[in-house]
Amino acid sequence: MLDNAQHLWIGTSQGISRFSNGSFVNYSHEDSNGLVGGTINCIYQTIEGTMWFGTFGGVIKHDNTSMTNFSTQDGLVTNKISAGCIDEDNRLWLTSALGLTTYDGKKFHAFKTNNNLVNRANRIELGKDGRIWFGLMSYTQTPYDGLASFDGNNVQHYSVDDGLIGNTVSAIHVDPDGILWVGSTGRAKAEGSAGLSKFDGRNFTAFSMKSIVGDFFERDAVRAISSDTYGRIWLGRNEGVSCFDGTKFLNFHQENGLVNNEVRSLLVDRNNILWVGTYFGISRWDLKENISDVRFQTYTTEDGLSYPEILGGIYHSSDDLIWLGTSGGVSIFDGITWSSLDIRDGLSNNFIRIIGEDRNRNMWFVVGDQGVSRYRRSEIKPIVKIISLQLGAETYTTKKSKGIHQITSGRRLTVNYSAIDYLTHPIKRQYRYRMKGHSLDENWNRQTTETHFDYVFKKPGKYTFEVQAINRDLRYSDPKNISFNVLPAWYMNGWILIPTSSLIVVIMVLALVYGIRYYQQRRESELLELEAKKLQAQMLEQERETRLALEAELTDANQMQTSLLPKTAPVVEGLQIAGSSIATREVGGDFFDYLISENGRQISIAVGDVSGKGLRGAMNAVMASGILRIYAEQENNISSVMSNINKALCQNMEQDMNVTMVLAQFDTEEKLMTLANAGQHAYPLLIRGGFVQSVKAKGLALGMIPTIPYKSIVVDLESGDLLLLMTDGITEPRNADGVMYEESGRLAELVSSIPADMSIKEVVDTIINDVEAYTADEEQDDDITLVAVRVS
């Protein structure tokens, strides 16, 4: 049967199968999914969307209505929604390039305005007076950027001419007093500056980035805004978190426990907890009236977070859950357990842009470019059951073994359990358990997807094992428990222990007597010592042979690495190019290469670092370099080249290996550099007029996840620009005090003072010589690779 959501349901003699999003989810009696009778005789769906299944053992009800997706087919003017909010009348407002759309709970309505200001909105916020505020930002400078308000009839526009610090609005927030706070990025001079604006209904007060953080990076800007109950304003920035108490700004970074400085979302929830979302996870801080000893608590995928990139906002729902919009779906947190929603749960796309909630406790998600989704959290709790117990090679079903079970201490027990849960995808079902009794820590363990628990009873006594199932909506089942009476091991029995102890005393006495023979055995010990010396000599000879074999391997690895490097730099009109790679005592996997297009107009330069040392690292470098050349000849788009290399390495490289690489494409006619970065932390440097700037493009290392996309950035070049592409052998070597070369500021000081008439080869040699001088007192274990490009 094909249901209302276009999912195909198939009833078989073994149970039920559902086909959606290109894969099957199976529910069967044998898998302990809770089916009453394995054979499905009929399938029916109600008007509300509930599924009913008839079997020989009874009737099964399945709630299939929690997720509803809306698109242009349902009345949206476009699926590409840029911003959204829910007003006091419980209406959903959505903005897009084609205009405003509202949803009244029954259908969507296109909303007409007198101008196209709101069509450019990428942020939307409901004011205390009922007005709706729109943050405007386009990708080309227009007179319509800035801020707009809509009172239901008229649209009012504000810009830098009205006191707004910048026209490229990146965040808006209305605090409890009705004050409007606006964050701006300030991409260009004509658009104003990056910073913060405060609007009291009449006048703007502007705060520049310099007034917020003092010395700041050019790319720093306000990305998210929230407020706490103490009257403070919190800002999420490209380079950390800031707090404004009305008179001064305080700033916090990774040194305070943030998982990462590049903040993309931020929220102070109703419990006065600050949540900070980044590309690498989320951090929290329980706020107090006085700020002191700031230490953030961090959650990553290792703590149960389903996906690390928190890009689509943070929301505190009315049922006290935290909802995170990520590029891998929706993550949900109740303070104890993490759960997630993705396409397997009915979402039309995993990229979540915005999260909100209406008065009916429906959650709303703006889903990539696939429209919006409405989600209703189910009230149904899962059911957990203990299936069987295993003691050694013996297995007992719970039906055959009831009450308190007799177990001998020291034996390993395995408890197998399962859940009856039709809401949660089978591979996403979670459990928590605990063992109670005999002074044990009786707290629940962290959530797990394991369906068994192993335990060895070390002490006699009475114990109780409890387990709960947790569904995708963070509903916890009633606990299921089973008790055990653990008896002492046979050798701890008194009738055995006393005679055994007496025997041990006798043995000790005999040992004392025989100890007198020690002096007689001394001569024998001397003979054994001679044998030990012979054995030691043999071991030294084996060590020498092993060392020689290792040195031969390092020689082969060094030859492989050297063969990858270009003999000379190519001659390209408009560019001066030079590169060098110096291998350390322990050969690594650094390499670089020049790739010239067929028309000679473009040249691509790759600088890579393969994990691993010795022959293994060198062989992987050879493979990575060869794959690079193959795809560079087939494809001119460097983002596509990176993606193709990544897929090939995921298939051919060992699982614990990866490649970091920077790929830069220079267009000499247009004077443009297009750059993509796959996990290279040594960012390229652009030196222009004595100023040094990092060119930060980000992406995951190659060879780890086959489906990861790689985004490129484009940099306008000017005559006299100097570009430096390098590996961490330049930035991370340490001196005798343990300070890295780049952190010391020496690199920036050196390259900013390089004369414009110095040859490009001298530039490379000067930097490498300075690195070696800086680390002269320390032995280095990483290759040094550097490519310099000067624009004529």
pLDDT of residue 504: 77
Q: What's the gap between Cα 358 and its chain centre?
A: 29
Looking at 27-41, 188-202, 212-226, 620-634, which range is the least confident one?
27-41
In Å, what is the CA distance from 313 to each residue of 16, 236, 319, 324?
A: 37, 12, 18, 6
**Tens of pLDDT, residues 389-407:** 988 778 888 665 554 567 7
pLDDT single digits (tens) 578-599: 999 987 755 567 889 999 887 7
- Reported as a pLDDT band with limits 50, 70 and 90, residue 525 is confident
Task: Assess whether pLDDT exceeds 50 at residue 32.
Answer: no
pLDDT of residue 11: 76
Domains defined along the chain, listed by start? 8-65 (no CATH), 133-376 (2.130.10.10), 383-491 (2.60.40.10), 565-791 (3.60.40.10)
Question: 791 with 756: CB under 8 angstroms?
Answer: no
C-alpha 526/C-alpha 522 separation (Å) is 7
Task: Kindly indicate the confidence band of residue 550, based on its pLDDT and cuts at 50, 70 and 90.
Answer: low
Radius of gyration of the CA atoms of the chain, in A: 33
Q: What average pLDDT does this structure show over 129-148?
A: 79
pLDDT tens, 148-190? 998 888 889 999 999 999 988 999 999 999 999 999 987 544 4
pLDDT of 479 > 90? The answer is yes
Q: Are the C-beta atoms of residues 174 and 126 closer than 8 Å to each other?
A: yes
What is the 3 state secondary structure string of 602-628? EEEEEEEEECCCHHHHHHHHHHHHHHH
Closest by Cα among 178, 264, 258 to 222: 264
CA distance 86 to 355: 10
pLDDT, tens digit, 9 for 90 and up, residues 41-84: 677 666 555 666 666 555 555 555 578 889 988 888 889 988 89
Q: Look at residue 403 in the predicted model and tell me its pLDDT.
A: 45
Of 363-372, 454-463, 521-530, where does mean pLDDT reach its minimum?
521-530
How far is the CA of 65 from the CAs of 62, 283, 360, in angstroms? 9, 33, 15
pLDDT of amino acid 188: 47
| Sheet (strand 263-268) strand order | 263-268, 273-278, 281-286, 297-299
pLDDT of 316 higher than 90: yes
Digit-coded pLDDT (tens) for 601-655: 789 999 999 887 666 777 788 888 888 988 888 888 999 999 999 998 998 887 7
Average pLDDT of the residues in 565-583:
90
Which ranges in 342-465 belong to alpha helices (H)? none
Phi/psi-derived region of residue 415, left when phi > 0, alpha when psi is between -120 and 50, beta in every other case: beta
* pTM assigned to the model: 0.59
Q: Could you read off the pLDDT of 429-449 as tens digits, one per residue?
A: 999 999 988 767 788 998 999
Is pLDDT at 656 greater than 50 in this prediction?
yes
What is the rounded CA–CA span in Å between residue 90 and residue 92? 7
- In this predicted structure, what is the pLDDT of residue 534? 78
Q: What is the pLDDT of residue 243?
A: 96
Please report which confidence band the pLDDT of residue 520 belongs to, taking 50, 70 and 90 as the band edges.
confident
Contacts from 100-104 at CB under 8 Å and sequence distance 24+? Answer: 101/75, 101/76, 101/77, 103/70
Mean pLDDT (the chain) is 85
The band of 376, judged by pLDDT with boundaries at 50, 70 and 90, is: very high
Collapsing DSSP to helix, strand or coil, 103 comes out as strand
Model confidence at 256: pLDDT above 70: yes
Q: How confident is the model at residue 562 (pLDDT cuts 50, 70, 90)?
A: low
Helices 518-564 and 614-634, interaxial angle, to 10°? Answer: 20
Stretch 258-279: mean pLDDT, rounded?
96
